[in-house]
Every structure is written in C-alpha cells, then in structure tokens.
Amino acid sequence: MIGDDLLTFDDPRDRKRYIFHRTLFRKILVSILRVLLRAIMVIDTKGLEQIPSNGAVILASNHLTHFDIFPLQMVILRPLFFMAKSDLHKNLLADAFLRKLGAFPVHRGQRDQWAIQHAEKVLDHGQILAIFPEGTPSKGRGLRAGKTETARIAIKMGCPVVPVAVDGTQNLFKSFPKRTNIRIVIGKPICPKPDESTLGLTDRIMFSIAKILPAALKGVYAQKPIGFDAE
C-alpha cells in the first residue's frame, strides 16, 4: 500500500479536473459527434439490452484502432469513461477535449497505479468504465492476449464485466467518401466468481469477447480449451 501511495503522490495529473458524471457540455459534445460521425460510418448494433441501466460496470472490448471508443459512445446512451494513452494528452486542446469526453491518461508499458486508482473512482461513482484489455490496437489482426488489469479491477470493485465486440473501425476512411460499416455486438455480463483468480477471469472475459467476434478477429482466442466455460 505504501508503494502504491508513493507512485501516485504529487502526480501532475492530480492537478487537472476530471469529471465522473454526465455534464451538459459533454451531452452537447457527444450529440455533435454523433451527427458528424454519421457522415463516415454506419453502425449496426446488437445486444444493447445487456448493459445495465445504472450502476458500476466495466465494458471490455477488443481493440482495433484508437477510434474504437467513438462508435461505442455513439450507440451507448450512458456516458463512457476510458483510459487514453498519455501521449494523446500532451496537447493542451486535445487534453481538455478528451477529459470532457471522460478520458483519463495512462502511461503505457508500466503498471500505472494512478490510472488504476482513477478507473476505480469511475466505478465508485457508479459509472461505466470502458477498457480494452489488449492494451494496444490490433489493427484488424485478431485478438491479442488480454492483460489482467481489467479482471483485477472487476474483482476488487465487485462489478460485472460486459464483453463487447467491435468490427469495422479498422476499415475507416479506406473507402472514403463511402461510409464504413461498423458492427458492435454486446454480450452477456460476466460476474467475478468467489475466489476467482485474475488469470481465470481474464480468460473468461477474452473468450467471451472472441465468442461474439467474427472468425477472422478471434486471434489467439480462436480455439477454446476443451471443457472451458466462459459463462
């Protein structure tokens, strides 16, 4: 515990303001984005009823591009709060824009305790935390091995994880001005089991995402072990 406190003590990110609720500004901003993004994409969505209407929940999605969060927020009515790599926050305007959208910076390549604690604050406020367990975009090459942090947070906070499959963002702008077809499928919520390990829950999350992805995007989770139950 002392080590974690030292890691976050006097972190410059604490000097900035982060929101944990839907503000009027954010509502207007998201509405504008929905109108603008309809010019470049057509979204087909399945399973929206699987997302709880209130309360803390983690949305765990495959990660094709850095653009994935936008179609997700377009179709999900509740506000999404998500990690964005710290490089995107270096520009003051981009930083302000992203924070207004619910993003918070994470330092990649290390266990960023500040970002983890901020993610837990999002859940403490009863909001949706959107996470990409792969960490970095696959660019359409299929699911990569999931990192355990998503499962670790879910177990600690005792909240459900909703698996999400996104397909199509890897093709954005490739046929412009023709709009890109985006497919979003939302699976059944997964709840941590008593005494479940982070590795065990991570596997359940990733195989649940793979289950609702097309074959070409299942990646390392294409073959489920015999007898494995992700439910």
Domain with 100, as residue range(s), is: 17-221
Amino acid 185: pLDDT: 98
Q: Is residue 200 part of a domain?
A: yes
Amino acid 59: pLDDT: 98
Q: Which residues of 193-227 are buried (b: 16+ CB within 10 A; e: fewer)?
A: eeeeebeebbbbbbbbbbbbbeeebbbebeeeeee
Q: Is residue 10 part of a domain?
A: no
Cα–Cα dist 118/217, whole Å: 30
Question: pLDDT digit string (tens) for 100-117?
Answer: 888 898 887 778 899 999
Question: pLDDT digit string (tens) for 119-150?
Answer: 999 999 999 999 999 988 999 999 999 999 99
CATH for 114: 3.40.1130.10
Domain count, the chain: 1
Q: Is residue 227 part of a domain?
A: no
Question: pLDDT digit string (tens) for 8-51?
Answer: 457 888 888 888 888 888 889 889 988 999 999 999 999 999 99
Q: Is residue 230 part of a domain?
A: no
**pLDDT for residue 220 is more than 60:** yes
